[in-house]
Amino acid sequence: MLTRQTFPAYVAAHRVVMAPMAGVTDPVMRQLAEEQGADLAFCEMVSAKGLSYANERTEDLLEVGPTEREVGVQLFGHDPAVIADMARRVVDLLGDTLAVIDINMGCPARKIQTKGDGSALMKDPDLAARIVEAAARAVAVPVTAKMRRGFYADEETAPELARRLEDAGAWALTVHGRTAQQMYRGAADWGVIARVKQAVSIPVIGNGDVVDGASARAMIEQTGCDAVMIARAAQGNPWVFADVKAALAGAPAPWPPAPLERIACARRHAHLLYEWEPRALVRMRKQASWYCKGLPGASTARGALNRCVTIDDYDRVIDAIEDHLRAIGMEGDR
């Protein structure tokens, strides 16, 4: 069983992490990421309030895939008592499969932060600390928190908040180098990750603009962070985890996938989604579009994919994409 004393060694062995992403990190996406080298993958972020209502759709977000040995769960909310109760609920539901419970203090989405959740907690460090303290007292599994550089564009509050959360019982912290008001615009400031690392004694995971092995290695070298978390760069690109894993191990970078390999993975992704939950197949529209990004005819392909309804529809469109790539001689190009 992990303790706060042994958790740094766990993080050192799990340096490549896939971030929780709403509508993206379902069991299929997590399986593909882990096949490529992700050490730990998070479920989609879960509303503590929704879970407290025994909402079936919310509980579905906690479903574990058949190949998963462990998974991270991120809760969002602003009521310490509800967060604590739902942390216990997550432990009961997932048992030994649960690796960590993370508290979302970084989501900048308007519909989240206007309710006092996500990045809005950075404006109320007392409440943020009470939430972490309540969760850490409620469960024996590691409790962590994910934050941003600050809430407002012209301020940096992450180092001070990090100290507060460490004192409240957080086992580790993830820091995204943008402020909430930046959303996903501009470049992430990795300097704040270094400053948080200097401010606390618990592990720090860096997040923001990690798009390949080179950027992951650069982040660790520049900030001293203990692990990296990858989000948008994994969309339609599970191979990013293999690249990052190799870079952090000092191994040669793997060959990037050829166009037909990318499309074959999109087909497999669609079929795995259909096998997991036929109703989830609608997600494949955006997933398949990500796989096609940058390929010749991607715009036409996206239009066709957005009209897909059944698994047969996807197969027909993917067949057409493959035929087009072969016709223009791109079947094996890397």
For the chain (length 334 residues), average pLDDT per consecutive 10?
Answer: 94 98 96 98 96 86 94 98 98 97 97 96 98 98 98 96 98 98 96 98 98 98 98 97 98 95 97 94 94 92 94 96 90 60
Give residue 329's pLDDT.
83
pLDDT digits (tens, 9 = 90+) for 254-286: 999 999 999 999 999 999 999 999 999 999 999
- Helical (H) or strand (E) element with 76: strand 71-76
Give residue 331's pLDDT.
65
The full set of domain ranges for the chain reads 7-249, 259-327
Give residue 334's pLDDT.
54
What is the residue-wise DSSP string for 20-56?
Answer: P-TTT-SHHHHHHHHHTT-SEEBPPPEEHHHHHTT-H
Which CATH homologous superfamily contains domain 7-249?
Answer: Aldolase class I (3.20.20.70)
Give residue 333's pLDDT.
58
Catalytic residue, chosen from 43, 107, 225, 308, is 107
Tell me whether strands 46-47 and 71-76 are parallel, antiparallel or unpaired: parallel
Give residue 57's pLDDT.
83
Catalytic annotation present for 225: no
